[in-house]
Chains A and B, each alone.
Chain A
């Protein structure tokens, strides 16, 4: 088993929309037996986690470019085409 991957789930305040999305990502990890964990944070805190993280999932506008891939997750809030985001996240977190 490889190293556990770290997913950052960020929104502006780190308490509202990221809470909903973090739960979605947690469920995806569990359902797909992925070796990954979620850190929920504010967008302004992403820089501090960038080195240890493998993926950024966010509902808001990224403050800048990061070293890690970014997946936009606003569709989890509006419930449009969420299967596509599920797949992107699962792919990014596989072994």
Chain B
């Protein structure tokens, strides 16, 4: 295991695309968010038509809300068969939307959604580890929450210095 504050290459950047980042998305429900984000991914050639249904089905059985504190996130994703090219889409929400918690402990008001389109396990491990470090950092979540446009949000995430603590 790497320890002692080793700076890491920001692998997550390889999965980020400005056209897959949205700020102040207006949504009433997780399904609204999934629809908007799945369309965005589909139109840019990252996922198949079936991705949206895959997300909805998967979220109903295995929810992805994470209670972190001040800014809470959801990390919806679904089976690899719906994915063409792996990527992460990000949306900040105009108003918080209720998601069920991943561990079944209730619901959580989510401010930021990281939608994962993943197609195989181990190859994406560093990216996933970095994503977890990102969501554990309240300062960056606050900055993301207040980002005014997708360019600003992209810069905040792509400039984040990943360090193992």
Q: What DSSP secondary structure best describes chain B's contact surface?
A: loop
Query: Counting chain A CB atoms within 10 Å of each CB, which of B1, B78, B102, B119 scores highest?
Result: B102
Classify chain B: how many residues form its interface, as a range.
Answer: 20 to 34
B99 CB to nearest A CB, Å: 13
Q: Is the C-beta of A60 less than 8 angstroms from some C-beta in chain B?
A: yes
Assess the A19–B128 pair: CB atoms within 8 A: yes
Could you say which interface size class chain A belongs to? 20 to 34
Q: Mark A78-94, 1 if CB is under 8 A from B, else 0.
A: 11000000000000000
Number of A-B contacts (CB under 8 A): 71
Q: Is the Cβ of A20 less than 8 Å from the Cβ of B128? A: yes
B93 at the interface (CB under 8 A from A): no
Are the C-beta atoms of B136 and A13 separated by less than 8 Å?
no
Interface residues of B in 124-145 (CB under 8 A from A): 124-125, 128-129, 132, 135-136
Q: How far is the CA of A13 from the CA of B80 in the complex (A)?
A: 8
Q: How far apart are the CA atoms of A79 and B102 in the complex, in Å? A: 14
B120/A20 in contact, CB under 8 A:
no
A19 CB, nearest partner CB in chain B, Å: 5
Shortest distance from the beta carbon of A3 to any chain B beta carbon, whole Å: 26
Q: Are A61 and B104 in contact (CB under 8 A)?
A: yes
**B5 interfacial by beta-carbon distance below 8 Å:** no
Note all chain B residues with C-beta closer than 8 A to A15: 77, 79-80, 118-121, 124
B125 touches A13 (CB 8 A): no
The listed residue (B61, B68, B129) touching A78 by CB distance below 8 A is B68
Q: Mark B67-88, 1 if CB is under 8 A from A, else 0.
A: 1100000010111100000000
Cross-chain pairs A/B with CB under 8 angstroms, 8 sampled: A16-B77, A18-B121, A19-B124, A20-B128, A60-B104, A61-B104, A74-B103, A78-B67
Give the interface of A toward B (CB within 8 A): 11-20, 23, 27, 31, 40, 43, 59-61, 72, 74, 76-79
6 additional contacts (CB under 8 A) given A13-B80, A61-B63 = A16-B116, A43-B62, A59-B103, A74-B103, A78-B66, A79-B136
